[in-house]
Amino acid sequence: MSNRVIDGPSYQRLLSGVHTVAGPITHEDRVRATRLAVPAAVLAGISAVWVHGGDVAWPDDPVEVILPPDRRVRSRTHLRVRGDVLLPGEMMRSRFGPVTTPARTAFDVGRHSDPLRAVPLLDALVRATGVTRQQVEDVAAQHRGVRLIRELPKMLDLVDAGAESVRESQLRVVLVQAGLPRPVTQYTVLTSDGMFVARVDLAWPELRVVVEYDGSYHDDPRQVARDRARVNALRAAGWTVLVVDRPQFARRDDLVAMVRNVLESAAS
DSSP code per residue over 175-214? HHHTTPPPPEEEEEEE-TTS-EEEEEEEEETTTTEEEEE-
Q: What is the pLDDT of residues 150-196, one digit of tens each?
A: 999 999 999 999 999 999 999 999 999 999 999 999 999 999 899 99
Q: Determine the pLDDT at residue 75.
A: 83
With cut-offs at 50, 70 and 90, classify the pLDDT of residue 15: low
pLDDT at 5 over 60: no
Q: How confident is the model at residue 25 (pLDDT cuts 50, 70, 90)?
A: confident
Least reliable range by pLDDT among 8-17, 45-54, 104-113, 227-236: 8-17
pLDDT over 70, % of the chain: 89
* Residue 18 vs residue 4, higher pLDDT: 18
As a CATH number, domain 166-267 is 3.40.960.10
Per-residue model confidence (pLDDT) at position 260: 98
Residues of the chain with CATH 3.30.460: 11-157
pLDDT at 1: 54
Domain 11-157 has CATH 3.30.460: yes
Is residue 69 over pLDDT 90?
A: no
CA distance 20 to 30: 10
CB atoms within 10 A of CB 177: 15
Cα distance between residue 115 and residue 172, in whole Å: 11
List the one residue out of 37, 106, 115 whose CA is nearest residue 77. 37
Query: What average pLDDT does the structure give for the chain?
Result: 91
pLDDT value for 157: 98
In 3-state terms, what secondary structure has residue 18?
Answer: strand
Q: What pLDDT sits at residue 106?
A: 98
* Numbered ranges of CATH 3.40.960.10 in the chain: 166-267
pLDDT score for 22: 56
| pLDDT band at residue 34 under the 50/70/90 scheme | very high
**pTM reported for the whole predicted model:** 0.89
Say how far apart CA 118 and CA 220 lie, in whole Å: 30
Sheet architecture: strand order including 97-100: 79-83, 63-67, 42-43, 97-100, 91-94
pLDDT (average), residues 251-258: 97
Q: How far, in Å, CA of 208 to CA of 239, rounded?
A: 5
Confidence at residue 23, expressed as pLDDT on a 0 to 100 scale = 66
d(CA 34, CA 177): 37
